[in-house]
Chain A
Amino acid sequence: MALPQPKLQAPQLPQHLLRTLDCKQGAVRAVRFNADGNYLLSCGSDKTLRLWSVSRGTLLKTYSGHGYEVLDADGSYDNSQLCSCSSDKTVILWDVATGQVTRKLRGHAGKVNCVQFNEEATVMLSGSIDGTVRCWDTRSRRPEPIQILDEASDGVSSIKVSEHELLTGSVDGKVRRYDLRMGQLHVDFVSSPITCVCFSQDGQCSLSSSLDSTVRLLDKSTGELLGEYTGHKNTGYKLDCCLSNKDTHVVSCSEDGHVYYWDLVEGSLSLKLSVGKAVVQSLSFHPTEPRLLTAMEGRVQVWGAEPEDTQEEAAI
């Protein structure tokens, strides 16, 4: 006998401020959830990378070893390793527990904008202002990258890795998707410098935000435009965008101090979340729950769908 389908709940948007972490590491350049969403990484302009507990808001560890401000970081699937990239042109692979530098990879000719593990943390992919994406092997001690993807004609600002695909966005206004399985490179022209790209959770679409204050949802296979989201302001900063955990909403930072939520299908603005007065530099959406991290100036804020106490109750 068929059970009645549970009624679909309206997707909840993280709009209640749960916690504010004052990172004390200068400006926070990027904030990232780890793979399971229990911890967060904050990349500071004081050359340090910090690991925090999201639920308690405590600082767990400080990773210092970069020579200049840290621009992006990522955690491996098993939480044993971190990678970070910095303006000092290096990519560093960290051991989480000891805080030691496992590898320091030099090779980029300019500051490294973005870094990402692949699914099994066997490869780190870093995109740099020098227009290349370098694939670093974490398994061997080889100091050279496995492969250099130098198709971009301008700096690579964002990179995302899925199971068998790399998605890169570069300042030359192109979103490139390297399909390893097919052995193909698909280049989608968006014309304005790309600040951030990401895959949708179902892996069928790619989201790209660009400096013309537009976030575009493109069909991954054909490159057709599926949606266009505007209203926010993104003209000078490298701001992040992402999709909500259930692909229902498109989220983007803005230079006017808000985070914008658009309905993915309708393209209408669902929520304009005020974070502060300054630019919302970076954001990260929790992989499974409606929870959002935003970084503004030296602070990281944790946002949840419901206020703190009710959540705690729910947890108990």
Chain B
Amino acid sequence: MASDSDGEEDFVTYGTPLEPLEEGEPLRKPIPIQDQMVKDEKGRFKRFHGAFTGGFSAGYFNTVGSKEGWAPSTFVSSRQQKAEKQMVRPEDFMDEEDLGEHGIAPREITTTDDFASGRRDQVRDKARAITALTAPIPGDTVLEDLVAPARTSVGVELLRKMGWKEGQGVGPRVKRKPAKQKNDAGLRGYGCALPPNGSEESEEEEDEYVPENVTFAPKDVMPIDFTPKDDLHGLGYRGLNPQQALVGGSGAGHFDLFTLDSDRASSLLGDSGPKNRRRGGVAGQAFGVGALEEEDDDIYHRDALSNYDTVLGGEEPGDGLFGWTAPQQYRNKKKAPSKDAAYLGKILEGFTLAANPVDNKTIFPPPVLPRDYRPVHYFRPVVDLSTVSPQVAQALQASAGHLSQDSQPQGRHQLDSSQRRELLGESSLQGPSSVFDLLDSKDKERLEGLRKAAQERKPEGSSEDRRVAMVAAGVAAAGAAAAASRASSQHALSSRFQPAGAEQALSAWSSPTAHSAETFKPFDKTPHKQARYDLYISKLKQGDKDALEASLDPGMTEWERGREQDEFVRAAMLYKPSSSSLNSRFTRAKHEDDGSTVEVPRDQEGDADDKQAAVKMKMFGKLTRDTFEWHPDTLLCKRFNIPNPYPGSGLVGLPKVKRDKFSVFNFLTMTDGGGGGGGGAAAPVGGPAQGPRGPAAPHGAPKPAEPAKRSRWDVSAQASEAKDPLSEFLSEARCLASSTPQEQGSQEGGAPAPDTAAESKAEPQQEEEEEEEETRPPMDLFKAIFASSSDEKSSSSSEGESEDEQEEAPPWPGPHPGPTRSESRPSGEWVLWRPSPGPERGRGGVWAQTAASIIPLGTAAFLLSPSIQGGKTQEEMQREAQGQEGAQTQEGEKAQEEAQEAQAQGKAEEEEGGGGLRQQFRCDSGSDSDDGPGALSTEELLKRLKTLGGKKVL
């Protein structure tokens, strides 16, 4: 079987495979033939004819570019309209490509013959001569050569006028070093225009006895042979030269096939040497010696390696190459100026030889900036005389001698915005123009007083006096302010049940700067509420002090009204007209910004730190588990053969909610979330005694105002310092523990309210039932305290899945009808792994320490204005609880569960008794409980709880 996998790979495939089908994509329709159009480069449609469509039609669209195609235009000529004589040029029959760069008739700018270099012409002439020689009739072109017009290019003419001769360079004559010259000449035949061999040799010979005063023309510039390489030979190889091969031009008797181009050129040009006497016949190395040869040349010439270069570019180009390749320095450059004088060559008319060579321009560096230079210009202050005291003005004048009188027109940079506005004819800005407008009327008065006081002293002159006056005025103002604040605080006391913010809101909104046009609509979603809010705001603007009461719906319950009152005040405070001139500079967005909401998972995961710590302590279970609602896809359910748990819900995955990115109202309206899970537990704690009330509220006990202002965000910094896994119940326990000293403190604080205690004692009785449902301690607390091996089973069985969802308020651990788990598992085994309560107690101290800084965010409520239930002490609560328990014992025997219930009832009572306070401590435990003098350790707490209600159980 192993072989068949290999065998499949032996297929041979022909042709191009079809494109793999994209899965899920419908089959593509083939493109109909009429849509398969081909376009040429100009976007015109091309149609295939002939072989493609079976017919030939040269129509308008295709080939000829005329509608009639190839049909010849008929010749029409009349007397009125003479037929134009049609000049047909070759281009008319050419394709566009032919006129392109690489076509047969390129239309581009080229050098015409007139401006072609003479040298090139010469080469060509020679070549022509050579071809003429090799032509069937030798000397065919001789006549042409003779009568050829003298055509030299402009450049050559110019050069000639400057004294250039062929073979001689331009410039002053030079003296040559004989050795170098020899060397050069020996190596290569440069200076192609010179008579090839003869003159060089003669020069060499001359060099030996050259007189001192004989000078030579400088070497001519070697023209580069730019003939393109159009053969397939190797680089530097040339084929048999017909001139040499047939005519036998070479004296050496063999052809060096590898020579430089220049050599080739020279050989081409090296005409009419005395040696070119052989005519006819093929001679040379490759051909042996013919019958016509006179002498036996060494036809078997062996090429020596020494003829070849072994080094790439090793040899320096000789002097002969200067002028075109070399950035080389001329050796005798320094002497040149002196020789210039000797140069009497023909200079172009109208030109003279420069006496001095042009010097290089020397460039001087810019000056160095001083080290402490800063490229900033300081303007002298412009001071208006009218605004400054005469002393200052004098001083300024003395120091700078410059004090603007400032009525003259200023530059545009000195105009301020209002002046510019006037110049531009813009309308002035709305809203207050000065900060002074924004001040409170009281502050204004105070400032006015200050200024008056200062002005009164002003005429008297001396600065000391003025200072004294200022101080006095300040003191007076301060006193006034203190008095005012005292008054306002009294006022605040008197209207204590009006939320403190209401005053501020009133002042903010009733101030003249309050801009009435657009305000924030915080309760947009509930139109009624928004309407009430608008009413409230409008009344505020009118300065109505009872705005709050008047605008609320009388049909609502007390409690609802209380809450709404508070919300309104807060909203009004938060969105009070932004009282600055900035307000008028901004405009409201025309469209709702969609980006202001973000989708967040509805259920938040628990705190990671808590879990981490729980894992460390191996307390898996509730602390490490989060349960979310999760919506599987319908199709997934179908494939799994499972009914959709949420039929009809279009949702997939975790449910998400849209939430404002940064909105305070997330938290403001939290309490009316109801079932939302967050605030439901804490909101109604206070019962009738809570919430902002009118003056008729039954409990007059002054409350500690400070903690009431705290929100849960206040403590976040401390909360982040240390976290504990068991924050849930430990912080709760902590609150309980620390509530005692706090309450004692409050009692000592001089606000004893014995009657309220009694009252609150009475009230809870009625509310016990609701209370239990709403604020119930997490079960872990009880587990930790009362768990024993005996109730292990029941507790484990009660922790069904249903409970996991409601960590906030788990149902009371009453007896469940039966274990929800499958029976297959022996329950006794699992006890082994369950953390026993023992070690927990042992670590209680540590926990208590860390728990002090815990704020259970999930349970903390946004306390608006908690008031106290009463100054109930721990002892009272204990007594109460015990009394109740006693009653229960009198009732008779109860099951263990019932006892537990009773004990929890005691707890609930206690909780309820200190309800308001506890809530506060939940929020503040981070800050307050640490310094509480009698902070209880967990052990103590446990003890206490045991004495409270656990007697029967333990």
- Residues of chain A touching chain B, judged by Cβ–Cβ distance below 8 Å, are 58-62, 99, 103, 118-120, 122-123, 135, 137, 139-143, 146-151, 163-164, 178-191, 202, 204, 216, 218-219, 221-228, 265
Contact = CB atoms under 8 A, between A and B. Distances in A.
A21 B299 CA distance: 79
Interface stretch (B48-56, B77-85, B824-832): B824-832
B624 A188 contact: yes
A135 B629 contact: no
B830 to A, nearest CB: 6
Contacts of A123: 636, 639-640
B517 interface: no
A227 B636 CA distance: 33
A61 B8 CA distance: 12
Contacts of A219: 621, 830
A190 B623 CA distance: 11
A99 to B, nearest CB: 6
Contact of A189 (B611, B799, B834): B611
Interface of B: 1-2, 5, 8, 22-24, 605, 608, 611-612, 614-616, 618-622, 624-633, 635-637, 639-646, 652-654, 796, 799-801, 804, 820-822, 824-825, 829-830, 832-834
B621 A143 contact: no
Contacts of B608: 189
Contacts of A139: 639
A222 B804 contact: yes
A224 B641 contact: no
A191 B725 CA distance: 13
A143 B24 contact: yes
Contacts of B829: 265
B624 A135 contact: no
Interface centre among A103, A146, A218 (most CB of B within 10 A): A146
B605 A135 contact: no
Nearest to A104: B23
A183 B646 contact: yes
Nearest to B632: A180
Contacts of A228: 618, 833
Contacts of B5: 61-62, 99
B1 A191 contact: no
A135 B645 contact: no
Contacts of B832: 265
A216 to B, nearest CB: 8
26 contacts: A61-B2, A99-B8, A120-B641, A146-B633, A146-B636, A147-B635, A147-B653, A148-B653, A180-B645, A181-B645, A184-B630, A185-B630, A185-B654, A186-B625, A186-B626, A188-B624, A189-B615, A189-B624, A189-B625, A189-B626, A222-B796, A224-B620, A224-B621, A225-B620, A225-B833, A265-B832
Contact of B821 (A218, A221, A265): A221
Contact of A190 (B624, B643, B646, B801): B624
Given A103-B23, A135-B636, A141-B23, A185 B627 contact: yes
A227 B833 contact: yes
A205 to B, nearest CB: 9
Contacts of A182: 645, 801
B804 A226 contact: no
A118 B625 contact: no
A105 to B, nearest CB: 9
A173 to B, nearest CB: 8
Nearest to A212: B615
Contacts, number: 156
Contacts of A62: 2, 5
Contact of B24 (A142, A179, A188): A142
Nearest to B799: A222
A180 B23 contact: no
Please give me the 5 A-B residue pairs with the lowest Cβ-Cβ distance, nearest first. A183-B645, A225-B620, A223-B625, A185-B630, A224-B621
Given A164-B640, A178-B630, 18 more contacts: A120-B640, A137-B635, A142-B23, A143-B23, A147-B653, A151-B653, A179-B630, A180-B636, A181-B642, A183-B632, A183-B646, A184-B801, A186-B626, A222-B621, A222-B796, A223-B624, A225-B619, A226-B830
A223 B654 contact: no
A135 B631 CA distance: 14
A135 B637 CA distance: 11
Nearest to A48: B5
A142 B22 CA distance: 10
Contacts of B640: 118-120, 122-123, 163-164, 180
B534 to A, nearest CB: 42
A314 B611 CA distance: 52
Given A187-B628, A188-B620, A224-B834, A180 B615 contact: no
A223 B625 CA distance: 6
B622 A223 contact: yes
Interface centre among B632, B822, B824, B832 (most CB of A within 10 A): B632
Contacts of A150: 653
A210 to B, nearest CB: 10
Contacts of B645: 180-184
A179 B628 CA distance: 10
Contacts of A146: 633, 635-636, 639
A164 B637 CA distance: 9
Contacts of A103: 23
Nearest to B803: A222
A118 B624 contact: no
B620 A218 contact: yes
